[in-house]
Amino acid sequence: MAATRKQQGKTMETSGQADEVRAAIDYGIDIEMLIDNIKRDPGELIRRHQTALNTAEKLREAKYK
Amino acid sequence: MKSNFFNLLERLVRADVDFVIVGGFAGVVYGCTYVTQDIDICCDFSTDNLLLLQKALSDLHAVHRQTPKRKKLELTRANCREYKNLYLDTDIGQLDCLSFIDGVGDYRKVKEGSRIIEIEDMRMRVLNLDELIESKKAMNRPRDKEAVLQLEAIKKLKKQ
């Protein structure tokens, strides 16, 4: 499960992460999801993106029915 | 319409189109968490390459997305040179083909600033992370600002 922003901040403080990571957390980006993603290969990232896009398209179609 | 970006890329690779994945979809390849509605590629806008591109999309009813009547894609040796960009819609997704990327340069520069990735048995080029960040900074739209934050965090996390 993705960490809350507060939890992410705590993780960052304890591990001394960089300003770039802090800036992303402050903006509201789910840094845990980024950490998970960078472990995946491009093929898996594209497949997962496709699944998310297909879901979004189905929801959009349902909205207009 | 049901998008299938993997199939779209596969067609370009199999048809030997000279291209580099850029834009939001390149961010996805590096691990960005957003969902993008199209694929942006930078490609060689030579006549031969554009005709290969057209061949790759031949059965997908490709149209110019931004023309009033969604004009059919009908490239010929005579008209290829008229185009600097192609904003296409196909049966399996939107494909934007660009000849120049802000913050990076023309196709030659973009290709120099790219790397090869392997997906299943296919090899294709994607813009390097640094160049992608520069291109997003140059575009500077609200969604680009978020993309830059994600990409810079990814760059830092990859180093750790």
**Residue-wise pLDDT tens digits, B107-139:** 999 999 999 999 988 999 999 999 999 999 999
Q: Which of A37, A39, A40 to mutate to test the interface with B (most CBs of B within 10 A)?
A: A37
B29 closest CB neighbour out of A27, A42, A53: A42
Which residues face B96 on adjacent strands? B40, B87
| Residue B152, pLDDT above cutoff 50 | yes
Find the domain containing A41 and state its range.
Answer: 14-63
Write out the two tokens for A25. 């957390």
Q: What is the pLDDT at residue A61?
A: 82
User: Is A6 inside a domain boundary?
Assistant: no
Please enumerate in sequence order all residues whose Cβ is within 8 A of that of A41, keeping only pairs 6 or more positions apart, or say none.
none
User: Is A1 inside a domain boundary?
Assistant: no
Residues of A in contact with B1 (CB under 8 A): 57
Number of domains in chain A: 1
User: Is there a contact between B72 and B60 (Cβ–Cβ < 8 Å)?
Assistant: no
What pTM was estimated for this model as a whole? 0.90
- The per-residue pLDDT for range A25-42, each reduced to its tens digit, is 999 999 999 999 999 999
User: Is A42 inside a domain boundary?
Assistant: yes
Does residue A46 belong to the interface with chain B, where contact is any CB pair within 8 Å?
yes
The pLDDT-based confidence of B105 (bands split at 50, 70, 90) is very high
User: Is A31 inside a domain boundary?
Assistant: yes
User: Is A5 inside a domain boundary?
Assistant: no
Looking at CA atoms only, how far is residue A10 from chain B in angstroms? 16
User: Is A7 inside a domain boundary?
Assistant: no
